[in-house]
């Protein structure tokens, strides 16, 4: 079954250092990487690397970064038929700092991603109609994103929103077209006013999100694992123990893995556990899209976990 991803495409420039710099401070780093990024591209790469037919809907500029991004997407077997080349805007970039513990902070310059509009939805109508799962994030404007959600949902797709980066209007966002929402702790607090720190607070936050539309809520809680709520069932899914070196790709690989599992007919609990394994494995290597695991290693971790 086909997965559609409507979202951002960036080139990431990642600097590694022993610790993160303080305001006004210059540090010597240990190394740097450049590669494909953007939450849309990362999630598309993550699902495609697992073997799911995946097409990405979005924009790049008409520049060197665009050529690098499109080449990388094709190398991951992502269908780029619906990626528009925008001569009026540059390709998005992200500047990422990562410390020795794998913690990070990120500055994103959106470029062509913020020029996405309903014309991109129109160009991709066939791909949206064919999708069994639609992945969304918040690095493109919300209006066309919701148009894509409405069109794909009417055609029968499960619509999954990763509400990142969380917007200023988080508590007023229209979530009525979202089937599954997957915020982390910080995003959950912005969306609901509740920072989940145990099962009780996670359940309370999930109830707030259910009331706004999503039938299913999966809270990504890092080393705790994930909290799954369907309104009728609520439970924790234990995290997989791995040696993390870089957490940049964890959330995107979680969502790419979730989409893959759903597209294969797994139930929501199985899909969330599969997604946890994908997110965990991504932290054991450096980079964003390049850190996404393949199917064999996910199955191996699931068997051992």
Give catalytic residues, as residue numbers: 252
Contact 148, 137 (CB under 8 A): no
**What is the 3-state composition of the chain as percent helix, strand, coil, each rounded to the nearest 5?**
40, 25, 35
191 CB contacts (<8 Å, ≥6 apart)? 163, 166, 170, 171, 173, 183, 205, 208, 209
- Report d(CA 170, CA 212) in Å as an integer: 12
What letter does residue 71 receive in the DSSP assignment?
H
Run of H or E residues at 123: helix 118-123
Residue with tokens 């600097």: 15
What letter does residue 149 receive in the DSSP assignment?
H
The two structure tokens encoding residue 153: 């949902």
């Amino acid at each position: 079954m086909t997965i559609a991803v409507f979202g951002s495409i960036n080139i990431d420039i990642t600097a590694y250092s022993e610790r993160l710099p303080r305001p006004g401070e210059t540090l010597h780093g240990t190394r740097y990487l450049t590669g494909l990024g953007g939450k849309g591209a990362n999630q598309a790469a993550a699902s495609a690397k697992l073997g799911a037919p995946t097409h990405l809907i979005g924009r790049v500029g008409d520049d060197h970064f665009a050529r690098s991004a499109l080449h990388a997407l094709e190398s991951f077997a992502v269908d780029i038929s619906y990626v528009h080349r925008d001569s009026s805007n540059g390709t998005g970039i992200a500047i990422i700092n990562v410390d020795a513990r794998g913690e990070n902070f990120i500055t994103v310059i959106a470029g062509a991603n913020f020029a996405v509009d309903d014309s991109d939805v129109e160009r991709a109508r066939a791909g949206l109609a064919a999708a069994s799962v639609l992945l969304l994030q918040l690095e493109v404007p919300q209006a066309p994103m919701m148009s894509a959600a409405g069109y794909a949902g009417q055609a029968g797709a499960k619509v999954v929103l990763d509400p990142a980066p969380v917007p200023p209007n988080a508590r007023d966002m229209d979530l009525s077209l979202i089937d599954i929402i997957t915020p982390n702790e910080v995003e959950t607090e912005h969306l609901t006013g509740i920072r989940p720190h145990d099962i009780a607070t996670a359940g309370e936050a999930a109830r707030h999100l259910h009331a706004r539309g999503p039938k299913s809520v999966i809270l990504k809680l890092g080393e705790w694992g994930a909290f799954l709520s369907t309104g009728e069932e609520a439970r924790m899914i234990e995290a997989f123990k791995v040696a993390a070196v870089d957490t940049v790709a964890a959330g995107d690989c979680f969502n790419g893995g979730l989409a893959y599992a759903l597209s294969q007919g797994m139930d929501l609990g199985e899909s969330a556990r599969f997604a946890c394994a994908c997110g965990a494995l991504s932290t054991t290597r450096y980079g964003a899209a390049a850190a996404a695991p393949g199917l064999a290693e996910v199955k191996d971790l699931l068997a051992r976990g």
